[in-house]
Structure formats: structure tokens, C-alpha cells
Amino acid sequence: MRSRAFRVLSLAAMLTASASALGRPAVDLKPSAAPPNLVFIMSDDHAWQAVSAYGRPDGTRVNRTPQIDRLAREGVRFDRFFVENAICGPSRAAFLTGCFSARHGFRTNQQTFDGSQPSWPGILQERGYRTGVFGKWHLGSDPVGFDDYCVLIGQGPYYNPPMKTPGGRVRHHGYTTDIITEKGVAALRSFAEASEEDGRPFAICIQHKAPHRRWDPHPRHFRLWEGTDIAEPATLLDDYSGRSPASTLQTMTIARHLDERDLKLKPPPELDETQRAAWDAYYEPINRAYREAVASGALSGDDLVRSKYQRYVKDYLACVTAVDEGVGAILDEIDRLGIGENTIVVYTSDQGWYLGEHGWYDKRWMYEESFRTPFIIRWPARLEGGRTSDLMAQNIDFAPTLIELAGGEVPDRMHGESFADWLVQGAGESPKGWRDSVYYRYYESKGPHTVPMHDGIRTDRWKLIWYPEVDPDGDGPAGPGCWELFDLESDPDELRSLADDPAHAGIKAELEKELAVLRTRYGA
């Protein structure tokens, strides 16, 4: 076990002195004798650029998320928080275990997670925490380390979901995002009441299915974007020139790969009669006009791509709005219960997502839109709100950080590093000895959307990616492998690879050496 466990009862004077020594402003930490509660809210495929507290790099706001923004105003927003494998199950396993996929063993969504390995829920449970998870699980096995759970079966539908509990399966009626929110609110009430009786802290995970494909909105949000066009990303019509052939091998384009369910030309099969009537009343007139425009040739080429983008992104953002409303309901319940001061609230996603950037939907790539994910943390008792951080952190860091914030000791097997001390000392510049590069690996070369297997390294400025199976001449997915190198400072959209540029050979060689080190460190 690591010996540097964060001490919950550290004196404010000691921490203030430490912060001053590191050049960070002194912060009133308001020490509390009680261990903190945790409310961990995770959405699925929520693009950071679809959180208005973030927005696109060019400063445009795609949508408004007032409740998540409230968390950002009252907490710390991480602007460089990355995943180790940008796909649902592996990323969730990394959040739980603090380990890279090679160690936690859940490399692809086709595998089953081994819940017997150390994870933060089990460690907090051993420390006396009451624990629960409600919503999407998506790890194949039953939840371990939780006193209570009610989770979707696999991915789960947007309407009328069956859910698994310790007592068996239970079918629910209604909109899945709202049902998960209601489960979270109910758990907050019961756990907080139990804590009043026995003094035990609690940790609750509220894990949304939304806004995962196929982006089926609630009827209250059908007309949310009616009459409004969503701003297109600059790379919507990307032709993939200037890079290796890797980006041409995927099957996740808005132009060619959205199907009839994605575009709402077919309704969800799980709707009941009343839900289907509301669905048809809204979508059928739109679908009729769309089909006629396509059949007549009035909608074609780039205009057709732009039309598909609007249909896709509006449904996606409507699903985000339901999640945001759910965050608001959770925050309101925390306020009503009077437990906000010493309750850590986290909002994050299992990875980022493409809102038309490079002409794509989905995730998987090491490019910024999916590699980076939103991460916001609020804890009024310890953290000064309204701050942003450029700390280069990853989802593997969440488990060790939470364990130390709860006063526990971090197992040596965890790859992640705790940023607990840094967080409560002001979340200023990166702590001494902190990593200056992050590693990524994606395994599903023959999986959905046919994104080729790759791994790579990202530093403050540079990103180097290796595709072991891609033919550098572009003749097919099988080959000797190829590289991509991006200067994120001059090319933030990652449109021009410098891997074959002699002027950057030295930088590429240095990054290759560091990549080899990280592969060894993380067992990849």
C-alpha cells in the first residue's frame, strides 16, 4: 500500500504553508472531521464541447447545460482530463480500478469485467461507506463493492428499460434518463437518512445511458431546437488528406454511416402505444419532407451531409438536456438534505464524442474530441469553486484520488496517481513530479466502426500515434504500420501529420522513446 495517503484531518495551516511553497495561492480549506460523501455522475458519450462550461476550442457554444455549468462555477473544471481507452466498458473499468486496460483486463466491450479486483467502491465500502450504483453499468458482470444497485441490462434502451437489481430484473416504464435520475434522488434520500442514524458516509454512482447512440429524446425536448441550426464544426467536411490512411478506414461518418434509426426515420421498437403516438406526431412530418427532398434530388451532396448533421446533433443535444436536468435534480436534492458542504460531486463522461468533427459521430480515436472527456469536481468544504485546471490527468487517476480524499490507502497495483493533495491545496500549477505525458491504447481493430488499433503519447504540445496494422501506402488495413505526429499548438484540429517531415524527425524520435517507456509502465 502507498504510504502517502491523504490525511482528511490535515491542519489548514500546514496546507496553506505547503501551497505557498509551491507558488499557489493560500486557500481556506475549512477542515471537516467527517469523511466526505460522494455523488459520482457519469454520462455516456458526452462530448466536452457539448458542455457549455467548456464549448468548442474556438469559443462557440454548441448548447447550454446550466446545471452542469453550476457545478463548474462551484467547483474545479478540468480542461485536460483524458481516458486511457475511448470506449464505454474499458473506460468505466479504468475509473473503477485506477488501472489501464492491460491490467484491469476489460480491453473491449466484448469482454467481461472481473469485479473481484480492487476498486474504489470496494475500498470505500471496507472503510464503512454505504455504496450504490444506479443506471448504466455495461461491464458484463454484476456490480461488486456496492450495497445496492439498479442497473441497465447491457446498453439499455431510452424508453421502458428492464433493470437488474440484487433481487432480480425489474421492468420500468418511462424515459430512461428520468428513471435513472429518480433512482439517484431516492438513493440520496435513503442514504442520507441512514447516515443520520449511524454516521456512515456514502458514495452513490448515478450513471446515465444518455447521450449514447441512438439519441432518442424525451417528447418534452422534441422541439427544443426547432427553427434553429446548430453551428457546424470547421472539419465537418474533412477529406482526411494530410494524414496517414488510418482515418479513411473507419465507418462512422455522418455522410455515409448514420442509419434509419439514427436519423429517426424508424422509431424505437420499445415504445408503448402512447409514446409511439407522440413520436410519430413529431417525426413523421419531418421524415416525409426529408424523404421527398432526397428522392427528388433537392437534398444531395454536401447539403445532404449538413442536413443529416442537423438531424443527428439536435437529437443528441436534446438527450444531453435531459441529463443536465437530472444533474439539477440531484444538486437540488443535495441542497434540500443540507449535505452539500461535505459532499463531493463529480460530473464526467466515459469518454468524449464527435459532434461532426472530421465528419464523424462516435468515439474510439486518440484525436482530442474522444480522447479528452469532461471532468468537474465540487466539494465546498475543501475546494474553492470557480477554477479551471490544466493538470494532465486521466480516468486512471480518479480511483486513487477518491480513495485518498476518503482517508484510505491506495493499492500499489493502481496505475493512476492521486491528485488529492494538489486539489485541496489550491489546484494550481501541476504538482512537482507529476506526469508531463499521457498514454492511450485502443484495441478493437476489427470492432464496430472499424477504427484501426492504435496507441500513442500526448504531451503538452505534441501527439504521436502508432497504427500497427495500417498500410502507410493506403492500400488496406493490413500493413507494416504507420505513424501520425501532430503539433497541437499550431494544428489543434489535427489535420496535418508531421510524422514524415524531416524537420520533425528529432521530436518524433524523442516521443517514440517516451512511448516505449509508457508501454512498459502500463503493461501494454
**How far is residue 385 from each of residues 48, 73, 80, 139, 341, measured CA to CA in Å?**
19, 6, 18, 34, 12
Q: What is the pLDDT of residue 476?
A: 65
Question: Beta-carbon neighbour count of residue 200 at 10 Å?
Answer: 14
Helix (H, G, I), strand (E, B) or coil at 359: helix
Which phi and psi (to 5°) does residue 483 adopt?
A: -115, 155
The cell numbers describing 347, all together, are: 460530473
> Over the stretch 353-383, which tens digit does the pLDDT of each residue have?
999 999 999 999 999 999 999 999 999 999 9
The cell numbers describing 136, all together, are: 448504466
> Over the stretch 259-311, which tens digit does the pLDDT of each residue have?
999 999 999 999 999 999 999 999 999 999 999 999 999 999 999 999 999 99
Q: What is the DSSP letter of 493?
A: T
- Locate all alpha helices (DSSP H) within 199-300, ordered by sequence: 273-296
Is 30 buried (19+), middle (13-18) or exposed (0-12) by CB count in 10 A? Answer: middle
pLDDT band at 430 (very low <50, low <70, confident <90, very high): confident
Domains of the chain: 37-398+410-422 (3.40.720.10), 438-521 (3.30.1120.10)
Exposure string over 35-71, b if 16+ CB within 10 A, otherwise e = bbbbbbbbbbbbbbbbbbbbebeeeeebbebebbbbb
Percent of the chain topping pLDDT 90:
88
| Ramachandran class of 394: left when φ > 0, alpha when ψ lies in -120 to 50, beta otherwise | beta
- Cα 429 to its chain centre, rounded Å, is 24
- The yes-or-no verdict on residue 1 having pLDDT over 80 is no
Q: What is the pLDDT of residue 7?
A: 33
> Over the stretch 30-50, which tens digit does the pLDDT of each residue have?
444 589 999 999 999 999 999
> Over the stretch 321-333, which tens digit does the pLDDT of each residue have?
999 999 999 999 9
- Cα 299 to its chain centre, rounded Å, is 35
Q: What is the mean pLDDT of the chain?
A: 92
pLDDT band at 208 (very low <50, low <70, confident <90, very high): very high
- The yes-or-no verdict on residue 3 having pLDDT over 60 is no
pTM of this structure: 0.93
Rounded Cα distance, 87 and 434, in Å: 26
Dump strand ranges (E) for 181-322. Answer: 202-207
Rounded Cα distance, 40 and 289, in Å: 43
